[in-house]
Amino acid sequence: MKPTIALTALAATAFVSTAAPAAPAAPADFTLGMAGNVPTLCRVDARPDAGTLEENCNSARGYAVYAEASPELAGATLVVDGREVPLSASGPTLVSRSDHADVAVRSLELRRSTPAGSLTFRIVPL
């Protein structure tokens, strides 16, 4: 029974492939317009214990990443991709900046004299 099914399928394929070609379509004017809005999404994930800072932002104008340290971390330094960034005691500290949309994974190290304190990161589309 199986050979009959295979031969029937093969014959049907041969019949379809020998059918007369369709008449060429007349040229037509056709325009397709499309518009949409893409929301700006930005995300930062900092893991000083793992040594990584992951940045993801689709803003065409870029983004900036800031760190805010608790008072216990006054005088501490972040090292981002080998660049030292002293943490401000009075407000947010600019950690990285991009002038275009990007997905980046940077090396991150926190150098501090005290084991206490907290660090918060935020990403801001430009």
For residue 86, what are the contacts with CB-CB under 8 A and spacing of at least 6? 75, 76, 77, 93
pLDDT tens-digit map of 52-111? 999 999 999 999 999 999 999 988 999 999 999 999 988 999 999 999 999 999 999 999
- What is d(CA 86, CA 91) in angstroms, rounded to the nearest whole number? 12
Q: What is the mean pLDDT of residues 44-51?
A: 93
In this structure, is residue 57 part of a structural domain?
A: yes
Q: What is the pTM of this model?
A: 0.71
In this structure, is residue 117 part of a structural domain?
A: yes
How many domains is the chain built from? Answer: 1
Domain limits at 87?
42-125
The DSSP code for 72 is G
In this structure, is residue 26 part of a structural domain?
A: no
Q: Which of 54, 30, 27 is nearest to 42 (CA)?
A: 54
In this structure, is residue 99 part of a structural domain?
A: yes
CATH code of the domain containing 75: 2.60.120
